[in-house]
Amino acid sequence: MKKITLLYLIVFSVQIQLAIAQSQPLQIIKVPELEQLIKSEEGKVKVINFWATWCKPCIKEIPYFVKAQQDFPEVEFVFVSLDFSENASRAESFGKKKGLNKSKMVLIDDVDYNAWIDKVSGEWSGAIPATLIVTPNGKKLYEKEFQQGELKELLKETYKL
């Protein structure tokens, strides 16, 4: 009986350590770091989602992004919170609860949106949700709320993943 209990404790401990290792904390970044995030990397596709805890359409589409990141492990997913920096812990907790922390989670600490949204895309009005897909061939902004299965199909059809 003691061996089974010990084995159970070891397995449980390893699972907790793996969960902690997979969990990435929210990083607070400035515009230059955001610019680095949106740069293309050779042969890599990035999905960069701009969201906030106060944005209902953003919250509604989060499960579709979580599912897509499971279906496309070769794609780098980055979640950029537009919450105020004083609400960073709230954004981090919310992101962890929704499963975003298995990817890169950042919060941009620059409330002068008009000074940097064109650096993301000249097509972006600044409305969220917005998703930027970056490939070696360029980038495309989707200023909309994704529906169930839509992101997955887009990645399969448009980006041949």
Tens of pLDDT, residues 77-90 = 999 999 998 888 88
With respect to residue 4, please indicate whether it lies within any of the assigned structural domains.
no
Angstrom distance (rounded) from CA 44 to CA 98: 25
Mean pLDDT lowest among 15-24, 59-68, 129-138: 15-24
The enclosing domain of 60 has a CATH number of 3.40.30.10
137 lies in which domain range?
26-157
CA distance 121 to 103: 22
- Each residue's pLDDT tens digit, 100-112: 878 899 999 888 8
Length of the chain: 161
Q: What is the mean pLDDT of the chain?
A: 84
Q: How confident is the model at residue 43 (pLDDT cuts 50, 70, 90)?
A: confident
Residue indicated by tokens 């680095």: 36
What DSSP string describes 50-96?
EE-TT-HHHHHHHHHHHHHHHH-TTSEEEEEE-S-GGGHHHHHHHHH
Dihedral of CA atoms 64, 67, 106, 56 in degrees, nearest 10, equals 20
* Domain presence at residue 120: yes
Q: What is the structure's pLDDT at 69?
A: 92
Q: Is there a domain that residue 21 lies in?
A: no
**pLDDT exceeds 90 at position 67:** yes
Q: Is the pLDDT of residue 142 over 70?
A: yes
pLDDT at 18: 36
Residue 126 lies in a domain: yes
Which pLDDT belongs to residue 120? 93
In a domain, 7, yes or no: no
Q: How many domains does the chain have?
A: 1
What is the CB-side half-sphere exposure of residue 77 using CA atoms within 13 A? Answer: 24
Q: Is position 131 within any domain?
A: yes
Indicate the pTM of the whole model. Answer: 0.81
Q: Please indicate, yes or no, if residue 71 is contained in any of the structural domains.
A: yes
Q: Is residue 151 part of a domain?
A: yes
Of the ranges 11-15, 54-58, 109-113, 133-137, which one carries the lowest mean pLDDT score?
11-15
Mark residue 149 as left, alpha or beta (left: phi above 0; alpha: psi -120 to 50; beta: remaining). Answer: left
